[in-house]
Structure 1
Amino acid sequence: MALDGGLGEALPGLTVTSKVPVTVRMDLRERPDQAVERAVYFCAAELLTNVAKHSGADSAELTATAADGRVRLTVGDDGRGGAKLGVGTGLTGLAERLAAVDGVLRVDRPPGGPTVITAELPARL
């Protein structure tokens, strides 16, 4: 199972087959609940897929932190921007999945890019 070793092992594995080079930065001081790990992993996989499919980016960065009872995942790229909540089902579905574990999804997408999407949720349910 991808998450047997926690997010610290699983998240870098998502970048191996990415069509866009991804820099990974992690500071995982505590291991979140399994349901939170699953939500973060799924979110990271979906966001990296979106970068490759829609952004036109040459590079991306995935940052994951877990400390002080909170988990934060950020995926940014140097692409053209344009990602929106409420358009299509991808980001809306992610926001709903995160809400199920008391999390939120924020999208920062200035005109012309780059796009930065952040998921933040409690480490414990």
Structure 2
Amino acid sequence: MSHQRPAFTVACEECGVDADLESANGIVDFYRRHHRLTGHDATITRVDLAFELPTDGDLETVVADLESRYDDGVPIGVVAAAMDEQGVSVGDTLAEIYDVRMTGALYEPRDDHLAAV
């Protein structure tokens, strides 16, 4: 019997804990839970997708680049993984998502999924 590796791994370097996750938004769930309990950020240590993530551009550009791959918005976890490639932490990405959404440049077509206006 073969065991498929989870698509994502996220870790807290300060605590030395990590989690293997099947869904991209599991990254966001891990961060929110862990940050609420410890105040620590999270690092994405493995991403296994069928396509390459954008490695440059601001948040709006990254979301726009990824939109064609998803029917109903880009999972926030995928956006966090792309921004992590640029050295932006999960916590900083979520804060930036909030700020950019408040300008009206991004919206959530469904919970924890983003699309560009």
Place the TM-score, normalised by the shorter chain, in its bin.
Answer: under 0.3
Which structure has greater strand proportion? 1
Which structure has greater helix proportion? 2
When the two structures are superposed, what TM-score results if normalisation uses the length of structure 2? 0.28
